[in-house]
Amino acid sequence: MMGFEWLRPAAFFGSVLYALIGVFVFWLSFVIVDKLTPYDLWGEIVEKKNVALAIVVGAMCIAIGLIVASAIH
């Protein structure tokens, strides 16, 4: 039974809850950054195909994800 501690219901549902909280915090952070910028990030990336902005937003998403994961861990 040594490798299956994570299958206990408390550990499993705790992990799912933290994952949902992490996704919500990540989404909220993205929305806040989108509102703070002078233009629509999603429209700029998808409609105008702005690759440079997509790289910056991707890096920002990785950074926010690392911060959220560290806070939850």
Count structural domains, the chain.
1
Is 42 contained in some domain? yes
Is 2 contained in some domain? no
pLDDT at 61 over 70: yes
Q: What is the pLDDT of residue 6?
A: 62
Query: 50 or 14, which is more confident?
Result: 50
- Domain span at residue 15 reads 10-72
Is 14 contained in some domain? yes
Is 62 contained in some domain? yes
State the burial class of residue 44 (Cβ atoms within 10 Å of its Cβ: 0-12, 13-18, 19+). Answer: middle
Is 3 contained in some domain? no
The mean pLDDT value for 43-60 works out to: 90
Q: What is the pLDDT of residue 69?
A: 79
Is 37 contained in some domain? yes
Q: What is the pLDDT of residue 3?
A: 67
Is 56 contained in some domain? yes
The pLDDT tens digits for 17-37 are 888 888 888 889 888 888 998
pLDDT at 72 over 90: no
